Amino acid sequence: MTFSTAVYGQALDNESPDPAKADGIWLEDPHSAESQAVAAFVMNVKSTGEEVVSTRDVLVTQASLDGLVVEARCDQTDSGGRDSYIVYCERGARATPEALQRAELALSNFAVEIKRDLAKRGFSDSLKKGGATRSLKCGIFLILICFLLYSVLMLTFPFNR
């Protein structure tokens, strides 16, 4: 099955099938071709993609050709006391503001449908924090590149004082 978007949550009892939807249709059988296609897509993006936002409450991973996976932490924990998540994925999407708005809406609606609450800090706040973290990393990277270029130039063309 080829899907455009999918969303699923972890079963809190760790025994029941995970609630899941693909293109708005409930996936009843976790062993169906549709469910397996969603799982394979998420695994592929997470294994080949780049984390573009990483906070305690939200993780956004994008793969250049495949798409986008957004994981949002819920306030509820599973039966083992571990954090639980709702996952949104979209084929062919990049982590643009529009795609992240679609993800936030889908995650919020799905959380209501399965009677969960997304982490209290909120999706938007987590994205802002993650974006700031990424900007800081990019800034440090650029400073290092400039320093290396300066060092190479000084070694190549020493100035006589």
What pLDDT score was predicted for residue 128? 59
Amino acid at 128: K
- Kindly give, in sequence order, each residue whose CB lies less than 8 Å from that of residue 128, ignoring residues fewer than 6 positions away: none
Beta strand 67-77 with 58-63 is: antiparallel
For residue 86, give its domain range: 5-156
Q: Domain count for the chain, please give it.
A: 1
Q: What is the token pair recorded at 43? A: 């695994």
Q: For the segment 110-122, what is each residue's pLDDT rounded down to a tens digit?
A: 999 999 999 876 5
Is position 113 within any domain?
yes
Is position 29 within any domain?
yes
Please compute, for residue 34, the number of CA atoms within 13 A of its CA located in the half-sphere on the CB side. 16
Is position 161 within any domain?
no
DSSP 56: S
CB atoms near residue 60 (< 10 Å): 26
Q: For the segment 21-61, what is each residue's pLDDT rounded down to a tens digit?
A: 999 999 989 889 999 999 999 999 999 999 998 888 999 99
Record the pTM.
0.76
Is position 123 within any domain?
yes
